[in-house]
């Protein structure tokens, strides 16, 4: 069978139809490919975004990848929602801040304790230096005491020699010559004491020390060997007034050792030795015989004890030297204080008292029932009410001065009629912040008041409190909340419902932001201007209520700041 033949036109039409059919199929396949490609690109972009979002979420939660986060969440025994975890974290942050404040307080207390310890160390060092100075002073005074004791021994030897010579000299002399010799003897003794540098106070102190040591020795002897009850006590023969007896009397009536030497050195070994020598010298003086400078008694005269109530007087009017004056009798009562009234009036009043004791007087009647008669004459016998020509009138005047005249003139308690001034009672509104709180000087640079000082340097100014002014406050209030600084972007829109504790966190964020960027740095916040302070004129009732409300709000804010400030402490 012969093959069909085609012409060129037919073949051209056939090829064109085949090409058209292939072009249509190709266009359909290309369109399908493009659609699949676009879908793949969209899915790839969504996958990339999901991977990035999951990785960012994991990094914000502290994990490196989402797979690590998923493995941690799936492996945890407790399935806790993320919201609860966030709230728990906020509570822990607040607690951590509170603990940090407590730790800061403890640090300040520790610093204060260390400072106090350093002060005590310095005080102990100063006390040690004072102790060394006192030791040096005591050594110097011990040497001075030794020198004075040596001078006293020389003076004692001189007195013993003078006493022996005086005893030989006065025998057989008349009273006038004996008094002159006695005065000369006293003057020579005084001159010798002045040359030795021993004044009256020093001699009195030495004699007082002698009496105290002899008394202690006598007590020790009596305690060791008591006398029988039948043994009589023989007193020392006494004369009318001898210089030796006067000197022993001066020793009894003299002041203590502290009067002559106000600051004695502490008891040391050398001082004990000196005191022992001094005690032996005093014992020698005590054993010496008493010199009779007045009329001598026969050897067989009866021994008599001097009466403590009778004072001996010199035979003539020659006054003895003040150093050897007789001492006051300890048995006799002390001399009473002299009153301003004359002795004549007092004597007359005493005579009147004797008359009153012999015959009781008639009591006076008083017209007023308030006044009571005196129960005794003790007041009338006092020197204050001594007898005078106008005694009755003065007594009536002095008596009526403090007495109530009658029932119509009794004192009235005016406090029930007064509600102001010192009679007013303090109300609750009278309490002020300065009355209830005070600044602790240990936390305020050693002062108890607010102060402002110039602080230079970024680090030093950063430690100060960040404040604001009216312009900055108005600007930030007009702008509103600013975006957070240097934080990751939000991949999810914030919830429409308010979150619990958002206001507190916002206030905390505002305070932290102000502390970080504020250029207003101050140690203490400046005082605010009272509301409507610059308005001229009298406010209306409504304006006054508004001003009082604003002032009350400002007072509450200041009280809140004072309570939160650790530099304040409550006084009551």
- In this structure, the strands spanning 520-522 and 568-570 are unpaired
DSSP code for 526: P
Q: Quick check: 249 and 327 in contact, CB under 8 A?
A: yes
Taking all residues of the chain, what is their mean pLDDT, rounded to a whole number? 70
* Average pLDDT over every residue of 476-492: 73
Q: What is the structure's pLDDT at 418?
A: 59
Q: Is 568 helix (H, G, I), strand (E, B) or coil?
A: strand
Q: What is the pLDDT at residue 170?
A: 80
Tell me which residue of 227, 206, 230 sits closest to 218, measured CA to CA.
227
pLDDT for res 478: 85
d(CA 533, CA 547): 10
Gap between the Cα atoms of 70 and 522, Å rounded: 50
pLDDT at residue 353, as a whole number: 46
Q: What is the pLDDT of residue 41?
A: 94
For 520, phi then psi, to 5°, come to -90, 100
β-bridge mates for residue 568, sequence order: 439
pLDDT at 157 over 90: no
How confident is the model over 376-399, as pLDDT tens digits? 444 444 444 444 444 444 444 444
Cα–Cα distance, 273 to 483 (Å, whole number): 92
pLDDT higher than 60, residue 409: no
**In angstroms, rounded to a whole number, what is the distance separating the alpha carbons of residues 453 and 455?**
6
Say how many Å lie between the first and final Cα of the chain, rounded.
Answer: 133
The answer to whether 531 and 554 are in contact (CB under 8 A) is yes
91 vs 97: CA distance, rounded Å: 10
Instruction: Express each pLDDT in 329-373 by its tens digit.
Output: 444 444 444 444 444 343 444 444 444 445 444 444 444 444 444
Angle at 269 between CA 268 and CA 275, to 5 degrees: 85
Q: Answer whether residue 207 shows pLDDT above 70.
A: no
Per-residue DSSP letter, 501: T
Q: Which of 44-58, 96-110, 290-304, 489-503 has the lowest mean pLDDT?
A: 290-304
Say what the pLDDT of residue 496 is: 74
Read off φ and ψ for residue 360, nearest 5 degrees.
Answer: -65, 140
Asked whether 528 and 554 are in contact (CB, 8 A), the reply is yes
Longest dimension (CA), the chain: 213
Contact predicate 512/80, CB 8 Å: no
**DSSP-assigned beta bridge partners for residue 522:** 465
Q: Which of 438, 465, 462, 468 lies closest to 452 in space, CA to CA? A: 465
pTM (predicted TM-score)? 0.28
Q: Identify the weakest region by mean pLDDT among 21-30, 152-161, 404-413, 556-565.
A: 404-413
Percent of the chain clearing pLDDT 90 (strictly above): 22
DSSP class per residue in 455-497:
--SHHHHHTSEEE--HHHHHHHHHH-PPPPSS----SSPPPSS
Q: Report the chain's C-alpha Rg in angstroms.
A: 56
| Integer Cα distance of 492 and 481 in angstroms | 19
Cα-to-chain-centroid distance, residue 105: 22
Give me the mean pLDDT over the 75-93 stretch: 80
* 8 Å CB contact between 522 and 460: no
């Amino acid at each position: 069978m012969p093959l069909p033949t085609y012409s060129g036109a037919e073949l051209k039409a056939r090829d064109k139809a085949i090409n058209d059919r292939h072009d249509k199929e190709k266009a359909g396949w290309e369109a399908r490919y493009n659609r699949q490609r676009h879908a793949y690109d969209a899915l790839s972009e969504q996958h990339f975004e999901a991977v990035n979002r999951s990785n960012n979420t994991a990094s914000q939660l502290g994990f490196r990848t989402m797979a690590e986060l998923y493995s941690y969440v799936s492996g945890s025994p407790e399935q806790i929602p993320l919201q609860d975890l966030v709230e728990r974290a906020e509570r822990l942050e607040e607690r951590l801040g509170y603990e940090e404040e407590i730790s800061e307080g403890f640090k300040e207390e520790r610093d204060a304790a260390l400072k106090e310890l350093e002060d005590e160390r310095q005080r102990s060092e100063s006390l040690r230096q004072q102790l060394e100075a006192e030791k040096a002073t005591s050594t110097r005074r011990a040497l001075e005491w030794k020198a004075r004791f040596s001078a006293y021994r020389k003076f004692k030897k001189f007195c013993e020699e003078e006493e022996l010579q005086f005893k030989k000299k006065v025998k057989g002399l008349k009273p006038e010559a004996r008094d002159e010799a006695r005065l000369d003897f006293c003057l020579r003794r005084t001159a010798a004491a002045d040359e030795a540098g021993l004044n009256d106070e020093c001699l009195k102190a030495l004699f007082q020390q002698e009496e105290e040591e002899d008394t202690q020795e006598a007590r020790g002897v009596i305690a060791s060997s008591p006398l029988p009850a039948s043994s009589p006590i023989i007193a020392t023969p006494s004369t009318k007034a001898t210089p030796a007896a006067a000197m022993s009397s001066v020793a009894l009536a003299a002041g203590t050792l502290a009067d002559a030497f106000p600051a004695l050195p502490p008891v040391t070994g050398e001082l004990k030795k000196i005191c022992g020598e001094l005690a032996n010298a005093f014992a020698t003086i005590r054993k010496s015989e008493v010199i009779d400078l007045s009329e001598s008694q026969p050897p067989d005269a009866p021994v008599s004890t001097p009466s403590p109530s009778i004072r001996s007087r010199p035979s003539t009017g020659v006054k003895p030297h003040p150093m050897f004056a007789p001492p006051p009798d300890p048995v006799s009562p002390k001399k009473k204080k002299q009153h301003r009234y004359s002795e004549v009036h007092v004597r007359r009043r005493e005579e009147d008292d004797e008359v009153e004791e012999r015959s009781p007087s008639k009591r006076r009647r008083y017209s007023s029932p308030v006044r009571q008669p005196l129960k005794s004459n003790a007041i009338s016998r006092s020197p204050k009410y001594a007898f005078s020509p106008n005694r009755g009138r003065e007594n009536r005047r002095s008596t009526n001065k403090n007495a109530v005249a009658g029932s119509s003139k009794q004192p009235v308690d005016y406090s029930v009629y007064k509600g102001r001034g010192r009679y007013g009672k303090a109300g609750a509104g009278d309490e002020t912040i300065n009355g209830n709180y005070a600044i602790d000087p240990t936390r305020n640079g050693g002062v108890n008041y607010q102060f402002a000082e110039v602080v230079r340097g970024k680090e030093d100014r950063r430690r100060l409190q960040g404040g604001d002014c009216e312009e900055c406050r108005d600007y930030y209030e007009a702008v509103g909340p600013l975006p957070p600084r240097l934080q990751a972007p939000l991949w999810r829109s914030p919830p429409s419902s308010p979150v619990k504790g958002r206001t507190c966190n916002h206030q905390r964020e505002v305070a932290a932001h102000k502390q970080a960027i504020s250029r207003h740095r101050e140690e203490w916040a400046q005082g605010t201007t009272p509301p409507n302070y610059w308005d001229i004129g009298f406010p209306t009732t409504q304006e006054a209520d508004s001003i009082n409300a604003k002032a009350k709000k400002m007072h509450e804010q200041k009280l809140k700041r004072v309570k939160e400030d650790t530099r304040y402490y409550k006084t009551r």
